[in-house]
């Protein structure tokens, strides 16, 4: 099995789970990474490791990241889906 077949089968498996799950899982991973990075940054870089507005300083950027990354992954989903459908069409022609 070559690389193209592995990618095809992997996307077929991801596709069965649905677009919402794909977008939500990937956006959540990135958002948690950003929030954790900001929390660690506040703790080690600032003089006052836990400012009173820490919640807002974590929530607002996280919400922006979720919104932006969700849109990006929606586009990625459609691009990969069109590539997958093209591959199905090419396999049926052969």
- 32-72: pLDDT as tens digits: 888 888 777 777 776 665 666 667 777 887 888 889 999 99
In a domain, 3, yes or no: no
Alpha carbon distance, N-terminus to C-terminus of the chain: 17
Q: What is the pLDDT of residue 47?
A: 63
Q: Which two tokens stand for residue 26?
A: 């990937």
In a domain, 74, yes or no: yes
Q: What is the pLDDT of residue 86?
A: 92
- Structurally, the chain folds into a number of domains equal to 1
Q: What is the pLDDT of residue 50?
A: 61
In a domain, 57, yes or no: yes
In a domain, 5, yes or no: no
In a domain, 44, yes or no: yes
In a domain, 7, yes or no: no
In the chain, what percentage of residues exceed pLDDT 90? Answer: 40
The answer to whether the beta carbons of residues 71 and 79 sit under 8 Å apart is: no
**How many C-beta neighbours within 10 Å does residue 20 have?**
11
Q: What is the pLDDT of residue 49?
A: 58
């Amino acid at each position: 099995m070559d690389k193209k077949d592995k990618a095809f089968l992997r996307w077929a498996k991801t596709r069965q789970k649905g677009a919402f799950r794909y977008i939500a899982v990937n956006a959540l991973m990135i958002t948690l990474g950003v929030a954790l990075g900001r929390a660690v940054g506040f703790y080690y870089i600032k003089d006052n490791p836990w400012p009173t507005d820490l919640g807002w300083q974590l929530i607002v950027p996280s919400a922006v990241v979720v919104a932006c990354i969700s849109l990006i992954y929606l586009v990625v989903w459609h691009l990969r889906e069109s590539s997958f459908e093209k591959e199905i069409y090419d396999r049926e022609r052969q």
